[in-house]
């Protein structure tokens, strides 16, 4: 959310005063401002009490995650019909959190009493396995509500983000999509079939039936559903259905998916899919895929950010009794400097600090609201979500000479080309993953953490395996090992300091520094774009996006568009359909990958020693040739995939500006036949006739 920043000294040194503020759109009611404990002027005499509170809350929350998973594993093991949905809520996790403290609970009845009794059934065994001693926490109610809501959110997000992708992964594995494609392609190439016919057969025999199967299982199927033998004659589909049947039949009989799709419904009602998510994790074990953690855990040893509001400040930091008539701002004035940059009013005094921060003992996130609770800010202001408009003829005509097309990706996070570019003389800008990592000092911070890590801490971490296991005994063994290693590992991540003058723990200081570098990186990117294309440039961004991939930077789509908007830039979307398949020079759909290289992933070189270079394309049109600089030979024209896509998007903008709409070769729903594929040569036509004769 943050774009503007003021830094008056080095992060983590006395007197450091850092803050970030963001511009608001009409209707925003809450923003966060980043700073540090020194930046907000926290009272040094109460620094030790704050550190103790942050570490205690972190430890309790870590065990609350683990205890919740233990409860669910044992409850499902004891009763296969256990309804886990009734436990996935804020109140349940708040009670789990409180059970791990020595807290004087009041009398409760009804649902709360039943929840506490249910947790007590498993609490003693958990404490015995882990050796955890609940700390004294006299005023724990407020903290339990906040941390319970965080745990519930992590469960919901886990289902929302991973159910659909893991279900597709299981289907692809069960149907052997990749292996069958490779086998069919190799077989047809040995027969001499051309690539165009091979591609058509792969789609007809493998891709299309697999897509129908995925769409079918996404619906709410009856318990005894059987596949149609005519559409799915291969036994592999029936075997896949039987493997996934426990997942698909884990819902109540009368439950219906919104939008008639499990993928859509899991986004809107994730709690209802918790049992299916668990069954899907079990199926991963059966089909020998790497198991995922359907019950999230907090595995970080470095204390995480915890919320401190006025009530927690009064009770747990100042040690006083809380009353609703307390002057909240007067309480905060005792421990922080309300005149610091991070706490100043914004939006003409309408946006103010109202008494809530989040901190890990080093970094601080200040929460600012438009109105206090007595004025009912939540009812008066609705959050406005601004959608990005697609570029149109009117916009294209209005922005002549200023459009910059952007193709988002993974290695080249952003590839930008100005509209005045040509195929032979492009005005381009690349923002790569390597440059971003270097600017944000990701490797430097990682090396620092590795350099200060003692050998015994590294050895202890290597012993902590099976954290994602769904086997009760294996998970309890993990908890026991973690308990034995806590003293060694936790002291390093919580208390290690390199500069005892500032008394800031290293790992939390590095976390804050990494955040600041990310913000500075965003500003650096905007300044470089202004330098390359001018401050009046209008950015037209491709609408392609991709799900997150492990160990890869997410594609900068929505986040980058918001960044440009907050910098005051005009941003529009464009449909980049087939923009990386058509040659910008000859305007034919004739680009293809061709170059085989050594596998850049060392851990996969044994299975796949050679792979195709995805980012390099060549034009197969015999009339579209280029001359080399050194040998003056005429060779096929080569293209960087991102460059070709951006130049084609420029062509779309020019066509819209001229009133011709999207060029036919980029329109969805098909293009003229002579533009779909290059003309077949006489040899290729003879090959097709020979193959058809062999089939007959």
3-state secondary structure string across 661-692:
CCCHHHCCCCCCHHHHCCCCCHHHHHHHHHHH
Same domain, 651 and 572: yes
Per DSSP, helices labelled H in 399-471 are 433-440, 442-452, 455-462
Q: Which residues of 188-227 are buried (b: 16+ CB within 10 A; e: fewer)?
A: beeeebbeeebeeebeeebeebbeebeebbbebbeeeeeb
Full DSSP string of 72-83: HHHHHHH-TT--
Tell me: pLDDT of 324 over 90. no
Give the whole-angstrom CA distance, residue 671 versus residue 60: 61
Of the candidates 258, 275, 277, 273, the residue with the CA atom closest to the CA atom of residue 219: 258
Q: Which of 145-154, 332-341, 623-632 has the lowest mean pLDDT?
A: 623-632
Domain boundary among 154, 173, 197: 154
Of residues 625 and 382, the one with the higher pLDDT is 625
Q: Which of 21-30, 199-208, 306-315 has the lowest mean pLDDT?
A: 21-30
Whether residue 165 contacts residue 147, with contact meaning beta carbons closer than 8 Å, is answered with no
Question: Which residues does 267 contact at the CB level (< 8 Å), separation at least 6?
Answer: 160
Location of structure tokens 């801490």: 457
Tell me: pLDDT of 491 over 80. yes
Same domain, 570 and 673: yes
Give the whole-angstrom CA distance, residue 294 versus residue 274: 8
Of the candidates 73, 185, 175, the residue with the CA atom closest to the CA atom of residue 125: 73
Same domain, 37 and 95: no
Whether residue 69 contacts residue 101, with contact meaning beta carbons closer than 8 Å, is answered with no
Give the whole-angstrom CA distance, residue 277 versus residue 167: 9
Answer yes or no: is 219 within a domain: no
Average pLDDT, the chain: 86
Q: How confident is the model at residue 630 (pLDDT cuts 50, 70, 90)?
A: low
The pLDDT assigned to 2 comes to 42
Here the tokens at position 260 are: 């008639």
Same domain, 555 and 681: yes
The pTM (predicted TM-score) of the whole model is 0.85
pLDDT single digits (tens) 587-625 = 999 999 999 999 888 888 888 889 899 999 999 998 888
Same domain, 366 and 403: no
Three-class SS of residue 352?
strand
Give the whole-angstrom CA distance, residue 85 versus residue 317: 36
Same domain, 370 and 411: no
Same domain, 24 and 105: no
3-state secondary structure string across 213-255:
HHHHHCCCCCCCCCCCCCCCCCHHHHHHHHHHHHHHCCCCCCC
The pLDDT assigned to 627 comes to 59
Answer yes or no: is 229 within a domain: no
Whether residue 6 contacts residue 17, with contact meaning beta carbons closer than 8 Å, is answered with yes
Same domain, 97 and 138: yes
Answer yes or no: is 531 within a domain: yes
Question: Which residues does 414 contact at the CB level (< 8 Å), separation at least 6?
Answer: 406, 407, 408, 429, 430, 431, 525, 556, 560
Answer yes or no: is 694 within a domain: no
Answer yes or no: is 471 within a domain: no
Tell me: pLDDT of 250 over 70. yes
Tell me: pLDDT of 680 over 70. no
Whether residue 266 contacts residue 161, with contact meaning beta carbons closer than 8 Å, is answered with no
Q: What is the mean pLDDT of residues 483-497?
A: 93
Tell me: pLDDT of 635 over 90. no
CATH code at 545? 3.30.420
pLDDT single digits (tens) 399-435 = 999 999 999 988 888 999 999 988 788 899 999 988 9
Beta pairing partners, 387: none
CA 228 to chain centre: 37
Answer yes or no: is 567 within a domain: yes
Whether residue 47 contacts residue 336, with contact meaning beta carbons closer than 8 Å, is answered with no
pLDDT single digits (tens) 5-45 = 332 333 333 334 444 434 444 445 788 999 999 999 999 99
Answer yes or no: is 685 within a domain: yes
Same domain, 38 and 54: no
Of residues 388 and 59, the one with the higher pLDDT is 59
Q: How many CB atoms lie within 10 A of CB 354?
A: 19
Question: What size, in residues, is the chain?
Answer: 696
Domain boundary among 91, 123, 154: 154
Query: Which CA distances in Å does 188 have to 185, 418, 593, 680, 696?
Result: 5, 43, 19, 18, 16
Give the whole-angstrom CA distance, residue 407 versus residue 628: 27
Number of domains in the chain: 3
pLDDT single digits (tens) 525-556 = 999 999 999 999 999 999 887 766 666 667 77
Domain boundary among 139, 154, 169: 154
Answer yes or no: is 263 within a domain: no
Residue 359 sits in which domain range?
4-42+305-380
Same domain, 8 and 147: no
Same domain, 352 and 328: yes
Same domain, 428 and 332: no
Here the tokens at position 67 are: 């205890």
């Amino acid at each position: 959310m943050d774009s503007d920043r003021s830094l008056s000294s080095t992060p983590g040194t006395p007197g450091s005063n850092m803050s970030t503020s963001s511009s608001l759109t009409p209707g925003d009611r809450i923003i966060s401002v980043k700073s540090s404990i020194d930046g907000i002027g926290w009272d040094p005499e109460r620094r030790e009490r704050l550190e103790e509170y942050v570490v205690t809350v972190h430890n309790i929350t870590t065990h609350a995650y683990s205890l919740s998973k233990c409860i669910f594993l044992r409850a499902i093991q004891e009763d296969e019909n256990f309804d886990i949905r009734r436990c996935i809520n804020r109140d349940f996790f708040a009670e789990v959190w409180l059970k791990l403290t020595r807290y004087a609970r009041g009398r409760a009845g009804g649902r709360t009493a039943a929840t506490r009794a249910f947790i007590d059934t498993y609490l003693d065994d958990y404490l015995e396995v882990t050796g955890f001693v609940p700390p004294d926490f006299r005023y724990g109610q407020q903290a339990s509500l906040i941390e319970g809501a965080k745990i519930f959110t992590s469960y919901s997000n886990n289902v929302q983000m991973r159910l659909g992708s893991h279900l597709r992964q299981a289907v692809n594995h069960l149907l052997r999509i990749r292996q069958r494609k490779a086998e069919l392609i190799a077989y047809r190439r040995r027969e001499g079939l051309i690539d165009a016919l091979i591609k058509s057969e792969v789609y007809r025999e493998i891709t299309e039936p697999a897509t129908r199967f995925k769409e079918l299982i996404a619906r709410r199927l009856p318990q005894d559903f059987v596949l149609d033998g005519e559409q799915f004659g291969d036994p592999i589909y029936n075997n896949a259905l039987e493997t996934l049947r426990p997942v698909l039949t884990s819902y109540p009989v009368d439950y219906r998916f919104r939008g008639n799709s499990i993928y859509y419904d899991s986004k809107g009602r994730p709690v209802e899919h918790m049992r299916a998510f668990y069954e899907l994790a079990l199926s991963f074990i059966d089909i020998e895929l790497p198991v995922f953690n359907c019950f999230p855990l907090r595995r970080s040893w470095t204390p995480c950010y915890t919320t401190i509001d006025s009530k927690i400040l009064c009770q747990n930091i100042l040690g006083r009794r809380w009353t609703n008539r307390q002057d909240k701002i007067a309480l905060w004035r005792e421990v922080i400097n309300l005149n610091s940059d991070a706490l100043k009013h914004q939006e003409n005094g309408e946006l103010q600090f109202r008494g809530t921060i989040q901190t890990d003992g080093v970094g601080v996130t200040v929460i600012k609201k438009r109105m206090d609770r007595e004025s009912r800010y939540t009812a008066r202001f609705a959050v406005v979500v601004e959608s990005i408009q697609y570029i149109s003829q009117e916009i294209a005509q209005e922005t002549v000479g200023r459009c910059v097309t952007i193709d988002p990706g993974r290695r080249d996070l952003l590839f930008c080309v100005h509209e005045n570019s040509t195929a032979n003389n492009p005005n381009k800008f690349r923002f790569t993953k390597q440059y971003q990592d270097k600017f944000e000092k990701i490797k430097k911070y990682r090396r620092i953490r590795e350099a200060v890590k003692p050998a015994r801490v590294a050895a202890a971490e290597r012993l902590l395996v099976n954290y994602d296991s769904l086997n009760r005994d294996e998970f309890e063994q993990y908890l026991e090992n973690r308990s034995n290693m806590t003293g060694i590992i936790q002291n390093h991540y919580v208390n290690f300091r390199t500069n005892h003058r500032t008394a800031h723990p290293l790992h939390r200081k590095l976390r804050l520094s990494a955040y600041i570098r990310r913000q500075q990186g965003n500003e650096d990117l905007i300044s470089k774009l202004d330098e390359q294309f001018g401050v009046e440039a209008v950015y037209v961004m491709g609408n392609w996006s991709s799900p997150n991939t492990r160990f890869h930077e997410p594609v900068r789509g929505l986040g980058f568009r918001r960044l440009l908007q907050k910098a005051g830039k005009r941003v529009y979307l464009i449909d980049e359909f087939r923009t990386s398949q058509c040659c910008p020079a000859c305007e034919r759909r004739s680009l293809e990958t061709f170059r085989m290289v050594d596998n850049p992933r060392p851990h996969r070189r044994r299975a796949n020693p050679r792979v195709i270079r995805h980012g390099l394309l060549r034009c197969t049109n015999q009339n579209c040739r280029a001359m080399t600089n050194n040998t003056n030979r005429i060779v096929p024209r080569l293209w960087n995939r991102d460059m070709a896509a951006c130049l084609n998007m420029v062509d779309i903008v020019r066509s819209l500006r001229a009133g011709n709409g999207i060029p036919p070769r980029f329109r969805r729903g098909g293009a003229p036949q002579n533009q779909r594929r290059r003309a077949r040569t006489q040899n290729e036509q003879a090959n097709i006739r020979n193959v058809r004769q062999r089939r007959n």
